[in-house]
Homo-oligomer: A and B are copies of this chain.
Amino acid sequence: MARIAVIAGDGIGTEVIAEARKVIDAVAPGFEYTEYDLGAARYHRTGEVLPDSVLGELEGHDAILLGAVGDPSVPPGVLERGLLLKLRFVFDQYVNLRPSRLWPGTTSPLAGVKPGEIDLVVVREGTEGLYAGAGGVLHRDTPAEVATEESLNTRHGAERAIRDAFARAAKRPRRKVTLVHKTNVLTHAGGLWARAFAAVAAEHPDVETEYQHVDAAAMFLVTNPQRYDVVVTDNLFGDILTDIAAAVTGGIGLAASGSINPTREKPSIFEPVHGSAPDIAGKGVADPVAAILSGALLLEHLGNGEAANRVTEAVAAELASRTPGATPRTAEVGDRLASNA
């Protein structure tokens, strides 16, 4: 039986994760869950972000289900670099997967775009680029101050993400992969990505390919998001593009994500894209759908695609039946999905 580490985290994280567990338990009973107390609350209480002992224990799991960590009271970067990004790097989660669908019953901020028309998935490289943390500062806070950030890219890293994107596209009806970079300005890294893309594309003559500069892609995600099927891109571009994709499909409130190590040698993390939302925490009104959809990604990753589909279909029905503008009750949504999935 799969062993799942649960990092419910802060704010609404604990609330939505309770519902995700309910639903996973309903469709795939018998997983063994271990809870880990990490996030802003623990940081304030003990000063710890991610003790090595906890990191070691997490590594022994098959997957990690994460709610949300963070609070405005924690200085920027502490939990991001010390916890979230650290896990992505240590567990070599090179596929940061972000599906975006305009679900039945939901409304896009884009005029005239109908449910079902947007159905794309971004494969964001998760272990390289500007997220490497390479760089420094000299002469801090003087007129002579300089700061650098270095984007580190390897053929190994780009190629494995691109390979994953093609494998996903090959299983989808439209079979199309769009590479997004900025090859006309970032000629070094862009060249590496373009060469890796061309090599993998040659192995997949059945998959349609295209290339777009990141600025054009950002625009097309607004003017014509329907055109995308699978998008593959680097870590920072993926960070930006997936938030645009979430925005045009009704906001990060519904967006699920996986930080995936496809080899399964190290655990992958599944988490809603939304944050801890301290303003609505404790009120029982957080929508657990993004966490539950993240649970579906977890099930799929663990090889239980059938259970994952049941969850996804139950979510589709749930969203289609909602009264527009009504506030979801966290536990009721979880109960409903657990019994309908």
Enumerate chain A interface residues (CB-CB to B < 8 A).
Answer: 76-77, 80-81, 85, 107-112, 130-131, 133, 135-137, 139-156, 182-189, 191-192, 195, 214-216, 218-219, 222-223, 236, 239-244, 246-248, 251-252
Contact = CB atoms under 8 A, between A and B. Distances in A.
B148 A188 contact: yes
Contacts of A155: 139, 141-146
Given A77-B183, A77-B185, 12 more contacts: A133-B187, A135-B188, A137-B191, A141-B155, A144-B155, A146-B192, A148-B152, A182-B239, A214-B239, A215-B239, A218-B244, A219-B246
B251 A187 contact: no
B239 A251 contact: no
Number of copies: 2
What are the 5 tightest A-B residue pairs by CB atom distance, in nearest-first order? Answer: A145-B155, A147-B192, A222-B247, A111-B111, A135-B188
B148 A148 contact: no
25 contacts: A81-B187, A111-B112, A135-B151, A137-B192, A144-B155, A147-B192, A148-B188, A148-B189, A149-B150, A149-B153, A149-B186, A149-B189, A151-B151, A185-B236, A215-B239, A215-B240, A215-B242, A218-B247, A219-B243, A219-B246, A219-B247, A219-B251, A222-B248, A223-B251, A240-B240
B130 A185 contact: yes
A198 to B, nearest CB: 10
Given A183-B76, A222-B247, A146 B152 contact: yes
A146 B151 contact: no
A81 B147 CA distance: 23
B188 A137 contact: yes
Given A137-B191, A148-B151, A155-B144, A185 B240 contact: no
